[in-house]
Each structure stands twice: as C-alpha cells, then as structure tokens.
C-alpha cells in the first residue's frame, strides 16, 4: 500500500472518495518538490455529509461498553507500532521531518494512544450532597457529541491524534480537517489506522479542503459542539470568534515565542544541548521552540562559544538521510520569509554569529546576537532555524525580558539550584515552563496549553476530559417535597 496513493482522498462515513470541488490541493515533498498526490477539495456539501455521518454514529458509540471501545485503541496502538518505519518515511516525504523528528513524533503519538486506552474507561460520575432532605444529586460526565479537529503541518500525526484519540475514547465522533501541506500524515493515515483497528464507520471522518472552498462551514455547522484547533494565533483568533458566535466550546493551541534562560550557575554543556534541541528540532517549526536564548552576562562568552560551535556543526540536507539534523522548511515562501527576517535583523544592527545559506527550501541554521532591545524579532514567533541570543544582568532583568512578549506558551530555565529554577518559573507568564530541560515538552498526563496569545484551554490529563466531555446534573428526590406554592 502506498500512503500517498491510497490515502490521499476524502474519508466520509467509512468511504474513501474523491471530493466534489472544482480544484485540487497538491501535496508536495518539501525537500525535492516531488508531487506526492493531488486531492480534489471537499465542498460545503461534504462538510455537512461528514458531520451528519459523525452525528449518526456517535450515540451508539457512546452507548457501547467502555471496555469494548477500549479494544479499538489497543489495536490502533499495535498498528502504529507495526507501521512505525513507514510512518517515519511518510513524515520525511510529506513534511520534511528528519529521522530524529519522526521518532520523537511517533513516540509521543503512541503515548497518547496509550492514554486513550485508559481514558475509555475513566469518566466517572459523582453523587453530591443536597441542602434538601432526601435529595440525591447525581453528576454524570458525558461525551459532548461531535468534535471538529483542525490541525497544523508541523506535527500532524501527533497533534491530530492528541485530539482524535481521547475524543473518540470518551465516546465522541470526530471530523478532521488536516493542514493542506499534510493531508495524508495528518488525515488519511490516521483514518486508515482507526479503520484497520475496527472503529465503526462514521465515527471518524477526514475532509481535505480549504477556507477558500468552504469558508467557515467547518466551525459554523450546527453539529460539532467543540472545535479543537492548533495553528497560528492569527487564524486561531478567527476560529475562536466564529466558535463563540455559534456557542461552541473551543480549544486553541496557538503560536509561541518561548525563551530558554541560562542563569549564572547553569551547567553550560547541558544548557547548550537543551538550547540546540529546543531551537532546531524540526528546523525550528515548533510552537514550543526556543525562539530566544537569554544568557546571564557572567556566562555569556562561555555559553556562546559552545552554542555557536554546536550549531555550526549541524548537518542540513535530505530528511530521509539518518545523518541529517536539519531538513527543509515547509515551502519556498517560508524559506524566503526567513531569509528576509535575517537580512532585516542584520541591517538593523544584529550580528550573525552563524549565517546559514538558503538553498531552495533548505535553510541552514543562523545565530543572531546583538539585536536592539526593541527589535520586533524578539517579540514574534520565528518558525524556522534562526536562534536569537540576548544577554541579561541578573534574574530580575531575565524575568522582564521573558515576559516582554505577547505570547506565553512554554519556556525553560537552567540553574544548578532546582528551588531557584522553580521560583523563577513561577514568575513567568506562560502555560508551561521547565527547569533544566528543553522548551519542547509534551506528556499525555499533563495539561498542555498557553497564556496570552498562545491559546485558550488545555489538552492532556484532566484537561482533555474537560475539553471533550460535558457534565449533566440529575437529581433524585426520595420521598415527597413540600413546595412553597
């Protein structure tokens, strides 16, 4: 089976079909420009078909014994384990992910499937006391119904499963709209895994389309009760506004501008390793990537020397080559944008300690230092292999610099004093912060999400249950109630 032949279709109500739109989305390999597939877009009519199929299938699924539902996720996990090598190949082909990146993504995806196995039998009801004698308050946790999932290109397999697997496990149905750059890894591949795992038809649907074709139909449609979106804050703001107008709950995982902070007592070798990983995993196209690397002036020279040497040695090339550490960015427009950002920064006074070349979609790593304090680069998300080094004098200035951003997703601090690191972390305006580690972290049991423009809501652990279930109060009066009228 060729993923890009067999899975490059719409998947609606258990059927693989061609979209009825008048134009195609072309799926390209970002490294060599090879055409992987052409997918005729889904129309508004097919959006309705997918949501209606999900609606029909959801109630019987919710009424299925949770232990029976759990078996689907056990089989899905085995399928991913058996097909890991082929999935890694697809990640390299469709989104330019290196072998390291693919292994990282697949590992986490499997962890989320393991968590879905547990979630299938987790939801619990409660019996609460009442102020009225003889009354019993029962609070049930129920699936919301149908969930719309809109996913990005950078971690399409992981981020899609992160919503899809728990939503299904908790008794919901799902409609996925994958990113146009990754319609197979983020859409068709996931549908095939669950199809082969025995998920009943209609519960999972995939629509490959574009806002130019369907407008806001994916969000405005009356069937979905929750929209889970991961992507830029610009698009997320629109998704949230449309969802709010239509009284839909939404979970928004948006842009970041994370900082990795190196205090004066840090283990510099460890901090360098964490900073390189945090900035350059998947070419820096990661929402939790360390855009800014802030270093105490007392260790600035030593850290910079080690960091620059390690970055300069990173190997850029074909993502299919196991030796490659930096693959292509997603397309030529992104490459050109990154080149323009670097040129502008240098023109504004920054120094390029490492100046990577741009060859098509291959963007070699760049390290910039000496940016003016008011440089817009320090306050925006840079989706590419460009690291910004900035010094600070003491913790107070470090806290101020980290928080001087419209975003608040992740971050990290390095210090030999764990207590100091935790106290520092408490002062940072982010949803997540890590002591002596990378800024790029994700675990199924922990709430993942951001503050400020980095999003609304959380996924992971209890937050996932909150996102994809609702509560219903049923009271039972034992004996007769005396009413005042």
Report which secondary-structure segment, H or E, holds 411: strand 411-414
Residue 287: active-site member: yes
> DSSP string covering 250-318, please?
EEEE----EEEEE-TT--HHHHHHHHHHHHHGGGG--TT-EEEEEEEGGGHHHHHHHHHHHHHT--BS-
- The answer to whether the beta carbons of residues 257 and 233 sit under 8 Å apart is no
Q: Which residues contact 219 (CB under 8 A, 6 or more apart)?
A: 148, 227, 239, 242, 243, 246, 248
Nearest to 209 by CA among 221, 217, 201, 199: 217
Per-residue three-class SS string for 17-33: ECCCCCCEEEEECCCCC
Q: Which residues contact 333 (CB under 8 A, 6 or more apart)?
A: none
Enumerate the H helices of 63-98 as residue ranges: 66-82, 84-95
CA–CA distance, 210 with 125 (Å, rounded to integer): 40
Catalytic residue, chosen from 287, 364, 381, 395, is 287
- The answer to whether the beta carbons of residues 322 and 336 sit under 8 Å apart is no
CA–CA distance, 458 with 117 (Å, rounded to integer): 20
Catalytic residue, chosen from 253, 300, 364, 381, is 253
Residue 124: active-site member: no
- The answer to whether the beta carbons of residues 285 and 384 sit under 8 Å apart is yes
Catalytic center residues: 253, 287
């Amino acid at each position: 089976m060729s993923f890009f032949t067999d899975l490059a279709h719409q998947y609606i109500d258990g059927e693989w079909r061609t979209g009825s739109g008048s134009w195609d989305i072309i799926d390209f390999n970002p490294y060599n420009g090879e055409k992987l597939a052409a997918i005729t877009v889904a129309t508004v009519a097919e959006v309705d078909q997918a949501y209606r199929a999900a609606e029909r299938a959801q109630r019987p699924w919710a009424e299925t014994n949770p232990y029976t539902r759990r078996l689907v996720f056990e089989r899905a996990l085995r399928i991913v384990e058996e097909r890991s090598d082929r999935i890694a190949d697809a990640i390299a082909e469709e989104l330019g992910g290196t072998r390291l990146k693919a292994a990282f993504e697949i590992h986490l995806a499997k962890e989320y499937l393991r968590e879905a196995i547990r979630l299938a039998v987790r939801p619990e009801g409660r019996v609460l006391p009442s102020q009225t004698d003889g009354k019993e308050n029962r609070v049930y946790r129920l699936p919301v119904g149908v969930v719309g999932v809109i996913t990005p290109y950078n971690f399409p397999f992981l981020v899609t499963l992160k919503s899809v697997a728990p939503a299904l496990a908790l008794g919901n149905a799902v409609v996925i709209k994958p990113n146009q750059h990754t319609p197979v890894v983020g859409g068709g591949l996931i549908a095939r895994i669950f199809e082969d795992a025995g998920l009943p038809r209609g519960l999972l649907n995939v629509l490959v389309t574009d806002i130019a074709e369907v407008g806001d139909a994916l969000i405005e449609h009356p069937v979905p009760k929750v929209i889970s979106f991961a992507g830029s804050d610009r698009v997320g703001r629109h998704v949230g506004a449309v969802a709010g107008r239509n009284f839909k709950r939404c979970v928004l995982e948006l842009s970041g501008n994370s900082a990795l902070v190196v205090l004066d007592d840090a283990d510099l070798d460890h901090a360098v390793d964490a900073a390189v990983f945090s900035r350059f995993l998947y070419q820096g196209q990661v929402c939790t990537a360390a855009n800014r690397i802030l270093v105490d002036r007392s260790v600035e020279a030593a850290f910079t020397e080690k960091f620059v040497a390690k970055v300069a040695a990173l190997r850029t090339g074909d993502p299919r080559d196991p030796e490659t550490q930096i693959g292509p960015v997603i397309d030529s427009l992104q490459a050109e944008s990154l080149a323009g950002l670097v040129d502008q920064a240098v023109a504004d006074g920054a120094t390029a300690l490492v100046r990577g070349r741009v060859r098509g979609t291959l963007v070699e790593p760049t390290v910039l230092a000496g940016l003016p304090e008011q440089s817009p680069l320090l306050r925006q998300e840079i989706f590419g292999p460009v690291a910004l080094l900035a010094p600070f004098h003491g913790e107070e200035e470090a806290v101020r610099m980290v928080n001087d951003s419209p975003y608040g997703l992740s971050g990290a601090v390095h210090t030999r004093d764990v207590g100091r690191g935790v106290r520092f972390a408490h002062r940072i305006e982010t949803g997540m912060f890590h002591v002596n580690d990378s800024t790029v972290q994700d675990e199924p049991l922990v709430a993942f999400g951001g503050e400020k423009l980095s999003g609304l809501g959380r996924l992971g652990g209890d937050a996932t249950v909150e996102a994809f279930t609702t509560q219903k109060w049923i009271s039972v009066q034992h004996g007769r109630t005396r009413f005042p009228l």
